[in-house]
Amino acid sequence: MDENYKRTLERAVRQLCNGADVVCDDLALGRRVPRLNYMTGGYSWDDDYVWDSWANFQWVGFLAGRLWLLHLLTRERRYGDAALTLCQRIGPVLARHPTVFSSTGIDMYYALTLGHQITGREDLKAWTLAGGDNFANIFDRKANAFLQIAGADRIVIDTGLNLPSMFWASQWEPERAALAYRHLDTVLEIGLLRADGSSCHAAALHPETRAVTGLFSLQGWSNDSVWARGQAWAMLGFSHAYEASRKPHYLDAARSAADWYVAHAPQGWVPRYDYNDPERDKLPYDSCAACIATAVLLRLARWLPDRAQRYRNVARETLKILLADFLTPGGVVLHGSWGRMRHVEAGKPRLGRFPQEDVMPYGNYWIAECLYRELSTDWSILSLDGKA
């Protein structure tokens, strides 16, 4: 690795530590559950963990995952201790309640599963397994897929990001991943990954038969456009499934989505929120999509030798730009967006300030994963099949 590039990565780790130190200090004062501030990327503090609300979700898992990775990168115990404290505040809740909102899968994996991988603590594993059992509550057996939210009439491309703890658990009990694989097979069957490798965001379900009635976008420019973060979610979900199963059709899907992403890399490397919006150059970037896709390209480069050089080049050029132009001295990834939020349901809040930007929860974890994968050769902690 080029020494200048390595120094850039190490400097970025120190920037992430700046923000993590504030979290550690707050926890030492007795504060309980952090809540991401979409304006600043900092955290306010709640008394209780919210497991059952999209509007009030706190995104604890991504913070815990970032702390776990900083613990590994720096060998600073305080980051691991802080991550464990957060796990102890959310784990019993996830183990106790049937899932109603798919993003709790984030908290199961990036907090609890990574924590078990690093510490070997059996309580973290037990909470993960119980949480995985509870996740079946949002599996629609007629639609043969997980719903985004209990009772919702839609399947979304995002859900693959919420399933890795189930894939990981299948090392010991294969049936634990059965519904996760069925979900991703359904995603392929209904066309959320298009023939050209681009992604569609969502499928609408008939309220009674649960048949797919149409494909649409919740957050992109149009139903036929490519929402940038949705493309990254497609790459991620199928990469998870391949890593855990080694089934070639998942690798084919991940490669198809990645090839599309690489072929459409914009000048400056970081995409706008949607690839097809005619006004996109005046609208927000999606730095989170770039962070997620960069981490996935680094993984795929190990599995696809014929694409390794191209994938790594796009990943590293993107990461350089993210660190130079999108990362603050406090380790916050700026210039993100929820997107257009085109289908807001009656009585439900509208997330985000589009066309203004927001600080998003996703990039602040995946920037840490990008740094970890570049600075470490042993990725077994993040592996879903127990291998490096």
Tell me the two tokens of residue 106.
């984030």
Structural domain of 354: 3-382
Asked if omega into 174 is within 30° of 0 (cis), the reply is no
pTM: 0.96
Please indicate, yes or no, if residue 90 is contained in any of the structural domains.
Answer: yes
Bridge partners of 199?
193
Please indicate, yes or no, if residue 388 is contained in any of the structural domains.
Answer: no
pLDDT-above-70 percentage for the chain: 97
* pLDDT over 70 at 33, yes or no: yes
Comparing CA positions, the residue from 94, 111, 114 lying closest to residue 102 is 94
Do residues 154 and 120 touch, judged by C-beta distance below 8 A? no
Q: 18-27, 227-236, 353-362: lowest mean pLDDT where? A: 353-362
The pLDDT tens digits of the residues spanning 314-356 come to 999 999 999 999 999 999 999 999 888 766 555 455 567 778 8
Q: 191-205, 209-223, 272-286, 338-352: lowest mean pLDDT where? A: 338-352
pLDDT at 343: 60
Cα(381)–Cα(384) distance, rounded to whole angstroms?
9
Please indicate, yes or no, if residue 387 is contained in any of the structural domains.
Answer: no
The pLDDT tens digits of the residues spanning 239-270 come to 999 999 999 999 999 999 999 999 999 999 99
Bridge partners of 178?
none
What value does the mean pLDDT take over residues 101-124? Answer: 97
**R_g (Cα) of the chain, nearest Å:** 19
The pLDDT tens digits of the residues spanning 124-160 come to 999 999 999 999 999 999 999 999 988 889 999 999 9
The pLDDT tens digits of the residues spanning 159-202 come to 999 999 999 999 999 999 999 999 999 999 999 999 999 999 99
CATH of the domain at 276: 1.50.10.10
358 three-class SS = strand
Cα(41)–Cα(99) distance, rounded to whole angstroms?
27
What value does the mean pLDDT take over residues 282-307? Answer: 97
Q: How many domains does the chain have?
A: 1
Cα(368)–Cα(291) distance, rounded to whole angstroms?
9
The pLDDT tens digits of the residues spanning 58-74 come to 999 999 999 999 999 99
* pLDDT over 90 at 292, yes or no: yes
* pLDDT over 70 at 387, yes or no: yes
Cα(318)–Cα(266) distance, rounded to whole angstroms?
10
